[in-house]
């Protein structure tokens, strides 16, 4: 294999192999960037198929205890 990079449109798989060896940071950052939009479409059906059900709702308030609250004692703040 020659040291010159192959043309992308003539031989795309050969170019991707060359880029993964000679320019790995560019190649893998592009691959991860392209995987994001694909995962938006693919991940929810796969998760449902594997048994991921509806999630519990996030509470927006702190639960207030019932009854009178005891006053703390033993702190000399007063």
Cβ atoms 5, 18 nearer than 8 A: yes
Binned at pLDDT 50, 70 and 90, residue 78 comes out as low
Binned at pLDDT 50, 70 and 90, residue 77 comes out as low
pLDDT, tens digit, for every residue of 17-74? 999 999 999 999 999 999 999 999 999 999 999 999 888 899 899 888 888 888 877 7
Distance of CA 46 to the CA centre of its chain: 15
Average the pLDDT over 11-21 and give the result.
Answer: 91
Q: Is the pTM of this model over 0.85?
A: no
- The domain segmentation of the chain, as residue ranges, is 12-49
């Amino acid at each position: 294999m020659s040291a010159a990079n192959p043309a992308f449109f003539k031989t795309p798989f050969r170019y991707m192999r060359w880029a993964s060896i000679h320019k790995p940071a560019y190649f893998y950052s592009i691959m991860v960037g392209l995987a994001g939009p694909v995962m938006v479409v693919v991940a929810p059906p796969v998760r449902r198929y594997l048994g991921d059900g509806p999630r519990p709702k996030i509470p927006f308030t702190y639960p207030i205890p019932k009854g009178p609250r005891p006053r703390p004692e033993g702190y000399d703040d007063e």
